[in-house]
Chain A
């Protein structure tokens, strides 16, 4: 495996940096765009990116906060991005689209690209899959895909209900049954909408798991949920990103 930093033109042609991990061997394979969580382009996000390379994919994790704080430590960059209002949806779509194009430009690409995101990135994964030419999307406990955003939230995000009819890829959703954002009711609402729209999706909610159960450096880490979740991801991407 090789892991390195690259730069490419993101949304609106802005140069952004990205962490790339790739299997060493030369064989045709799919690609995965990893969307980091709100705390930033951190060690955990890069570890996840390497895991996809270990699973046999070319994987890229763009630094969504590169514009706000080029070269800064991930936690400092996240602080600046949050103070400035977060990542606009349009920019996120542009950056993920650029990351997908980067993956497809690799000589090992089979042309297929999946997207995955955690926490705020879970919502952004669904968002990207509503607007981009992708092949599979994974939403790990993203809040506000459905449900009402409390009006006192200064950061003006919206739910994605009006965009879900445009979902263009199969969706794998992994949720904690003890999570409040998204709550089981919000997950059920998403399930109902996708069913009504005739979309292909697969949801798993883990009893005893709360939010961020994949985060193995956090108290929220849940071994059973995370292990099963990784197996579901592996099977899902195997089905939709294979040759």
Chain B
């Protein structure tokens, strides 16, 4: 199916994308839908983009649901290990 579901998050950081160039990542678009490349019917897709920039400046992830949950858990684990004074 096309889920049409699209969730946005404003983010602030950098991503390394096409042509091995770094760019400002200002937005994450997250959706569970057909992938372009991954060999699965549906994947959890994340587009990290600079909303003001060229559409080609995009880091795209297509993860199976299971691996997306593993990624979330890994991020949570890494953040949980950070001392309080560094969490800004």
Binding site for B on A (CB under 8 A): 37-39, 42, 68-69, 72-73, 75-80, 82-83, 85-86, 119-120, 143-144, 149, 152-155, 157, 179-181, 210-212, 218-220
The contact sample of 8 A-B pairs, CB cut-off 8 A, is A39-B36, A42-B36, A76-B58, A83-B6, A119-B2, A149-B4, A155-B6, A219-B40
Do A143 and B2 have beta carbons less than 8 Å apart?
yes
Residues of B contacting A180 in the complex (Cβ-Cβ under 8 angstroms): 1
Grouping DSSP codes into helix (H, G, I), strand (E, B) and loop, the A interface class, with mixed when no group exceeds half, is loop
Question: Which B residues from 2 to 49 make CB contacts under 8 A with A?
Answer: 2-8, 27, 29, 31, 33-34, 36, 39-41, 47, 49
Residues of B contacting A143 in the complex (Cβ-Cβ under 8 angstroms): 1-2, 4
Residues of B contacting A157 in the complex (Cβ-Cβ under 8 angstroms): 4
CA distance A158 to B41 in the complex (A): 24
CA distance A186 to B74 in the complex (A): 39
Interface residues on B, range: 20 to 34
Residues of A contacting B6 in the complex (Cβ-Cβ under 8 angstroms): 82-83, 85-86, 154-155
Residues of B contacting A82 in the complex (Cβ-Cβ under 8 angstroms): 6, 29, 31, 47
For the complex formed, measure the closest distance between the CB of B56 and the CB atoms of chain A, giving whole angstroms.
5
Binding site for A on B (CB under 8 A): 1-8, 27, 29, 31, 33-34, 36, 39-41, 47, 49, 51, 54-56, 58, 60
Residues of A contacting B47 in the complex (Cβ-Cβ under 8 angstroms): 79, 82-83
Do B41 and A72 have beta carbons less than 8 Å apart?
no
Do A37 and B2 have beta carbons less than 8 Å apart?
yes
20 extra interchain contacts, Cβ-Cβ under 8 A, other than A72-B55, A119-B34, A144-B4? A37-B2, A38-B2, A38-B4, A75-B60, A76-B56, A79-B49, A80-B49, A80-B55, A82-B6, A83-B6, A83-B51, A85-B6, A119-B1, A120-B4, A153-B4, A154-B7, A210-B41, A211-B1, A218-B41, A220-B41
